[in-house]
Amino acid sequence: MEATALDSIVLNFSATSITVLNAVLAVVMFSIAIDLTPSDFRRLLYTPRALLTGLASQFLLLPALTFLLVLATQPQPSIALGLMLVAACPGGNISNFITHRAGGNAALSVSMTAFATVGAIVMTPLNVAFWGGLYAPTRQILQTTKIDPVSVAITVGFMLVLPLILGVTLKAVKPALAARLRGPLQTLSMVIFLAFIVLALANNWDLFKRFASSVAMLVVLHNALALTGGYGLATLTRLSPYDRRAVTIETGIQNSGLGLILIFAFFDGLGGMALVAGFWGVWHAVTGLGLAAIMNRTKAPR
């Protein structure tokens, strides 16, 4: 298969589909934020080691490991940049649910998601520009698209940070209302998100079948690298097994939904990138739930 065959395809996503995905991700972040209080953040500032380890694992270690994976495997340029973009995104929203299922520190997971989401305003465009610029084939794509870091930051801010602020504010001002909304909002948003993934696969099924072999194994390797890297760094920093589970899962569950939106907003839905983000969206849920089932067999010491 020629490289241009994959790099030139554009997936079938309408403007309405992207708008719906934007709204769903905002609702998911809002439903997570209404679990948080300002005291949750203050507590982590007094005992920051686990939080800092998690953020370093996501924004420093994983992008570096991804770059090494790209150098070792030499994938097609759009696939390489897709891997880099996913690695540059903050942790996925389902990481909180999966950490809870794994018997890990769910409060730490929620806080890592929150801090990483705010940090993504700077770190996501910075990591994409830095690591993508170091690799010649992906540097050509970045030069062609002329991605604007400020525009990426604004997109991340409106999609993720604004709902986060609104959710925390609602919890502080109207705790009873926040408690009533939390469950239904999380259920509704996850159902809509899964439905979106199913419809996206259906609309692009021929392309997914045609190019699956090009990206599937790389996504599997990339996700395994993320989980292993998170666990390794948490072990090196001597976190408790309880916190270690949260850091491991938070690193291995990336916000591929955000990745898809950025791909369609700034890269015109470039085929290889979108396929990577799409496969990530499915695969990390499979490995996350499987890992949680294994971890939950034993109670993690705190």
The fold of the 14-294 domain, in CATH, is: Na+/H+ antiporter like fold (1.20.1530)
Q: Within 13 Å, how many C-alpha atoms sit on residue 153's CB side?
A: 11
- Domain residue spans of the chain: 14-294
Task: Calculate mean pLDDT across residues 6-33.
Answer: 69
pLDDT, tens digit (0-9, with 9 covering 90-100), for 93-113: 778 778 878 888 877 887 888
Q: How far is CA 186 from CA 26, 87, 192, 292, in A?
A: 11, 24, 10, 19
Q: Is a pLDDT exceeding 80 seen at residue 221?
A: yes
Q: Within 13 Å, how many C-alpha atoms sit on residue 140's CB side?
A: 7
Q: How far is CA 257 from CA 39, 45, 102, 234, 236, in A?
A: 29, 29, 23, 26, 30
Q: Where are the alpha helices (DSSP H) in 237-270?
A: 241-252, 256-266
pLDDT, residue 97, reads: 77
| Sole residue written with tokens 């340029």 | 77
pLDDT, tens digit (0-9, with 9 covering 90-100), for 203-212: 667 777 777 7
pLDDT, residue 23, reads: 75
Mean pLDDT check: name the lowest of 191-195, 274-278, 291-295. Answer: 191-195
